[in-house]
Structures are given as C-alpha cells and as structure tokens.
Chains A and B, each alone.
Chain A
C-alpha cells in the first residue's frame, strides 16, 4: 500500500466520522446523565449511517436514520422521562464493580484487533474504490423476497409479537 492511497477523500471521511463515533460511544457509556447519553447515542447512530453511505449501502443508511435516529431515540427519551422523576445528572448509574468492565473490554478489543489485522492485513475492500456502485433497492427487494423470504416471515411474526407484548406489558389494568 502506498502512502498516496491513504489520502483519498473516502479515507479522510472515514477517519473523521469514526473518530466522532468513538468519542460519542465512549461518552454514551461514561456520562452521568441519561438524556445526555441518549443524545450522544444519536451522534454514534448518525455516524453509522454515514459509514453505510461510504459502503454504498444507501437504503440501509436511510433505514438507519428513520428507525434508529427517529423511532428508537424517541423510545429511549420516552423511557427515560417515564421512569425518572427528574432530568439531571445522577451519581449512581454505574455498578459498584464497574471497573471490572474495563479489563474485559480491553482484552476483547486486543484479541479481536489481533485477529482482524492478522486475517485481513492491508487487503483492499474493493480493488478500485471508484468502482463502488450504489446498490439499487430493487436488488435488495429481490434478495429479501427471494432467498430470504422465510426469515422475512419470521421477522414479521417477531414484530407482531413484540407489538402485542409491549402493549400487554405496559398496559395499566
């Protein structure tokens, strides 16, 4: 890999977006305010949508924005506001043994990074980055309603059960 390859616009964009995502993710798990954590999570999810665009997956990026940044975030904020009397910093969001999570996460990161770098090295994602074509939605729908129709049915059933379950659980009676 020659150094000039590092400076194509896609790589610069990737670096900036992933830096924002990692900062946002660290803030999500360290900040002492549930509402702030939800807003940091918005940055991570939007950054993920931008990465999907870099990977030429336009439909998934749009779905990510609609479902995660739109629906799931509103659910989180509702859940926060319905379960807590006050909106403000809390001191007891962490377990008393929270520091044990740090070595576990670092160990996992070390093992996974070693395996990834060892397995893929400096292999290109695609021979020529300019060749990446956006995937037409028609192709995705052919895939969903063709070879993956059965999982789609199962998924519809799961969503139905989730809706009924959420209503039954949250109903006041």
Chain B
C-alpha cells in the first residue's frame, strides 16, 4: 500500500465536504458535510500513524471522533432552536447579524 492512496482519498472526501458546506442551504445537510470533512482528516491521521510507526495518530483520531460527536450534539440542538423560533432551517434566511 502506498501513502499517496490514503492521502488522495482523504483529499477527495475533504473537497466533496467543502463543496457540501458551500452549496447546501439546509443546516442539517451542512452538518453532514462537516462530518465528511472530519472523516477525511481521520483517514489522514491514521495513515500517518502507520507511516511513522507511532500510536499518536490513533489517539488523535479518537479525540477527533469525540469532538465531532460533541459538535453534532450542540449543532443539532441549535438547529432545533432555530426551527422552533423561525419555522425554517434555511441558513440564508438567518441574516440578522449581516452587516
């Protein structure tokens, strides 16, 4: 196995996730795209963990998974709150803080 193949897979998933964050309007879909980005980072961390013969990459990957779980919990709570107040979760309708 080559290092490049894992890094390229991570890069492809990352770019698809970035496209999703930019293109989607629905807040839940944006959160899903962020999950794609975090997973691509995890693949890179584990590939480098094997490459350097060190266990640190596994530790970091576990931390990333935990942070992602917390982020999804808080993010969906915010989405529910926005939905309760506005009856919509379209992100471009939330423009009160626009300068």
B contacts, CB < 8 Å to A: 1-9, 11-20, 22-26, 28-29, 31-33, 35-36, 39, 42-43, 46-47, 49-51, 53, 55-59, 61-63, 65-74, 76-81, 83, 89-90, 92
Contacts and interface: CB of A to CB of B under 8 A. Distances in A.
B3 A170 contact: no
Interface of A: 1, 8, 10-11, 14, 18, 21-22, 25-26, 28-29, 34, 37-38, 41, 44-45, 48, 51-52, 54-57, 59-60, 63-64, 67-68, 71-72, 75-76, 78-80, 82-83, 90, 92-96, 98-102, 104-106, 108-109, 112-113, 116-117, 120-126, 129, 132, 135, 139-140, 143-144, 148, 151-152, 155, 158-159, 162-163, 165-167, 169-170
Nearest to A15: B5
Contact of B63 (A14, A55, A80, A151): A151
B24 A109 contact: no
Contacts of B26: 34, 90, 93
Contacts of B11: 109, 112-113, 116
A140 to B, nearest CB: 5
A44 B20 contact: no
